[in-house]
Chains A and B, each alone.
Chain A
Amino acid sequence: QKEVEQNSGPLSVPEGAIASLNCTYSDRVSQSFFWYRQYSGKSPELIMSIYSNGDKEDGRFTAQLNKASQYVSLLIRDSQPSDSATYLCAVIGDSGGSNYKLTFGKGTLLTVNP
C-alpha cells in the first residue's frame, strides 16, 4: 500500500512568518512530487512540483526533496492570510508511465493569523 503521510494540523502561524509543511512517502521508487493548495469547497490548485533532490524556489514558496529520507516539504515565506488553506502533498508512485496516478496525503490545514 503506497502511503503519503502529512501532519493534519492545524498549523497556525502569524502573518509574515514562515510556514513549514512536511510530508513523507512510503514508496521508495517515487519520482515526482507535488504540493497542491485546496481552499474549502474548491478543487486543488498546483503550487509546486519537484523531481530531484534539493530545493526548488518559486516566489514565496520553496519545495525541498530528500529521496533518501523519503521526505518532501514546502516552505511558505512571508505567510499571508490568503495562504490559509489545506495543503496536499501528492506523489507519483512509479516512473509515471502512461497513467500518472497521484497518491495524495490527507493534507495539512494552515491558518495564517493577521
Chain B
Amino acid sequence: GAVVSQHPSRVICKSGTSVKIECRSLDFQATTMFWYRQFPKQSLMLMATSNEGSKATYEQGVEKDKFLINHASLTLSTLTVTSAHPEDSSFYICSARDFGNNEKLFFGSGTQLSVL
C-alpha cells in the first residue's frame, strides 16, 4: 500500500516553544492531506484539511494561528504547533489521499507531543 511518512514520532518540549511535524507521501502525490488529533482513549478528530498551493481549511474550534499548516509541494505538508502548552499534548496524525489507489486514505505513523 501507499506509504505516508511522518516525523518526528515523539516530541517532548517546554511550554511556549513551537513544534513542527512533517508529513510526506513517499510513493504518490497528495494534493490533499489531513491532520488529526487524538487524545487518550478518544477517537481521531479532524483538525484541518491541507491543500497543496492554497490555504488550509480548519475545522470549527481549531485555531488557525496556533496550528499553522503549510502544504508547499505535492508530497509534503507540515503542521506547526506554535507556543505549545500542556493542553496541546496529544497524538497528532496526518493522512493523505492516493488518487491512484481508489482515492484511499493512508495514515502517517503519528507524532506523540508532550508539552511540559
User: Is the beta-carbon distance between A46 and B44 smaller than 8 angstroms?
Assistant: no
User: Is the beta-carbon distance between A44 and B107 smaller than 8 angstroms?
Assistant: yes
What A residues does B43 contact at CB under 8 A? 88, 104-107
Interface residues of chain A: helix, strand, loop or mixed (majority): loop
Stretch of B11-19, B63-71, B72-80, B98-106 contacting A (4+ beta carbons < 8 Å): B98-106
Interface residues on B, range: 20 to 34
CB of A98 within 8 A of chain B?
yes
Q: A43-B93, A107-B43 are in contact. Are A102 and B107 (CB under 8 A)?
A: no
Q: List 21 A-B contacts (CB under 8 A).
A: A41-B91, A41-B110, A42-B109, A42-B110, A43-B6, A43-B93, A43-B108, A44-B93, A44-B107, A49-B104, A88-B43, A96-B103, A98-B32, A99-B32, A99-B49, A99-B57, A100-B103, A101-B34, A101-B46, A103-B46, A106-B42
The 4 closest A-B pairs by CB, nearest first: A43-B110, A43-B107, A106-B43, A104-B43
Q: Which B residues fall within an 8 A CB radius of A?
A: 1, 6, 32, 34, 42-46, 49, 57, 91, 93, 97, 102-110, 112
